[in-house]
């Protein structure tokens, strides 16, 4: 929440902010396959631990420096280190759960992450706002960022208690890339990657800039931004707990489509009035609807492929989403810096991308739930 505001307070323009956010996201794509290969050598628990160690350290160092190029390099390292978590978490859940409780596990984990982020947004928004009186805007942001990094390091102690049932499954580079080629030839995984590419491009235009939009377009204070962003996270968390019931009732594909389509009007509403109350309500509802299907999407993506292909698929899935986000973050930074209505235009482009992505998803996966249901019954008979 604080990074974009901190960069702007250092008088760095939106163009360079877009470059930082873009390369940070691009690193998520570039490091995905190398990180997946490392995880399959050392195990998924150690992959999670690497993220929990490296990311907080890069955050602390970003708070200590005021040089824009140092922030850029550290942001790239932060994004790359996050890959270890991204390629480890989904496969780890699949391996350490049963089909009966799997979707619930994905949902609870998603909600846990969201609610803790919500708490962080609120606490650090208030902390930064209160310290502003004594230390000034820049130093209050710096100290808040450093404290958040220190808290992140504490999480490493809890990772030590996690038990990893399964060892790595891919032993050589040749088999890894062989599996990668095989997966991209399959219908459903390839369709899912293209869907992720479209949605990722739309998200990259606006999501990294929510805090900047609130600060410099709506004129919200850091404390207000913390409250607004925390409430938006609360909506996401509540939604994440509801979606398993929706998925069991309507099916996963219909649940994803309903949530995403319903969020689009509220996304456009954020860009229309420069009124903090309307923007806060629209952001609250938009976040809840668009993101509540995330655990269903995550669970579904892991069922598209075989067990030994999951870390590798998680990595290329990560590439498809973050590569497009990286590109669109640069585009959004350019638009914001060079157009008179630059802060609003990305929201309307994102709405178009979400409509296109949802339509493509429906076209490709409308019969997926029925096929999975039939194959499960057949497996029980066999």
Domains in the chain: boundaries: 3-160+173-375
Taking phi over 0 as left and psi of -120 to 50 as alpha, with beta for the rest, 212 belongs to: alpha
pLDDT reading at 236 higher than 60: yes
d(CA 251, CA 107): 15
**What pLDDT, on the 0 to 100 scale, is given for residue 175?**
62
pLDDT tens for residues 263-290? Answer: 999 999 988 867 889 989 998 899 888 8
Average per-residue pLDDT for the chain: 82
pLDDT reading at 261 higher than 90: yes
**What pLDDT, on the 0 to 100 scale, is given for residue 61?**
94
d(CA 175, CA 351): 40
**What pLDDT, on the 0 to 100 scale, is given for residue 170?**
46
d(CA 257, CA 247): 11
**pLDDT class of 306 with cuts at 50, 70, 90:** confident
Q: Are 250 and 301 in contact (CB under 8 A)?
A: no
Q: Which of 79-83, 258-262, 321-325 has the lowest mean pLDDT?
A: 321-325
Task: Give me the mean pLDDT over the 118-123 stretch.
Answer: 84
**pLDDT class of 346 with cuts at 50, 70, 90:** very high
**What pLDDT, on the 0 to 100 scale, is given for residue 377?**
42
Fold of 3-160+173-375: Growth Hormone; Chain: A; (1.20.1250)
**What pLDDT, on the 0 to 100 scale, is given for residue 360?**
93
**pLDDT class of 174 with cuts at 50, 70, 90:** low
Backbone angles phi, psi at 167, to 5 degrees: -80, 180
């Amino acid at each position: 929440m604080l990074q974009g505001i901190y960069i702007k307070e250092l008088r760095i323009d939106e163009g360079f902010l877009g470059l930082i956010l873009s390369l940070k996201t691009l690193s998520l794509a570039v490091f995905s396959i190398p990180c997946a290969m490392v995880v399959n050598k050392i195990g998924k628990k150690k992959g999670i631990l690497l993220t929990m160690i490296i990311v907080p350290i890069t955050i602390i160092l970003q708070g200590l420096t005021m040089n824009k190029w140092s922030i850029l390099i550290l942001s790239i390292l932060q994004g790359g280190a996050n890959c270890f978590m991204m390629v480890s978490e989904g496969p780890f859940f699949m391996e350490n759960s049963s089909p009966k409780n799997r979707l619930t596990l994905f949902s609870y984990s998603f909600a846990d992450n969201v609610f803790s982020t919500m708490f962080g947004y609120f606490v650090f928004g208030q902390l930064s706002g209160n310290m502003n009186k004594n230390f000034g805007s820049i130093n209050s942001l710096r100290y808040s960022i450093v404290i958040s990094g220190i808290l992140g390091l504490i999480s490493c102690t809890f990772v030590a208690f996690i038990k990893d049932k399964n060892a790595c499954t891919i032993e050589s580079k040749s088999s890894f890339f062989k599996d990668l080629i095989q997966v991209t030839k399959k219908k459903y995984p390839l369709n899912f990657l293209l869907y992720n590419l479209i949605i990722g491009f739309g998200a990259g235009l606006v999501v990294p800039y929510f805090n900047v939009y609130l600060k410099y377009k709506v004129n919200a204070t850091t404390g207000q931004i913390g409250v607004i962003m925390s409430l938006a996270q609360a909506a996401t968390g509540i939604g994440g707990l509801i979606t398993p019931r929706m998925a069991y009732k309507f099916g996963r594909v219909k649940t994803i489509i309903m949530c995403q389509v319903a969020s689009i009007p509220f996304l456009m509403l954020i860009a229309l009035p420069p009124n903090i109350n309307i923007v806060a309500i629209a952001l609250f509802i938009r976040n809840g609807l668009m993101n509540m299907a995330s655990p269903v999407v995550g669970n579904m993506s892991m069922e598209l492929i075989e067990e030994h292909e999951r870390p590798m698929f998680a990595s290329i899935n990560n590439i498809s989403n973050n590569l497009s986000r990286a590109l669109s973050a640069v585009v959004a930074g350019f638009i914001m810096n060079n157009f008179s209505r630059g802060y609003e235009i990305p929201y309307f482009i994102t709405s178009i991308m979400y409509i296109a992505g949802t339509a493509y998803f429906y076209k490709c996966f409308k019969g997926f739930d029925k096929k999975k249901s039939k194959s499960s019954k057949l497996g029980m008979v066999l």
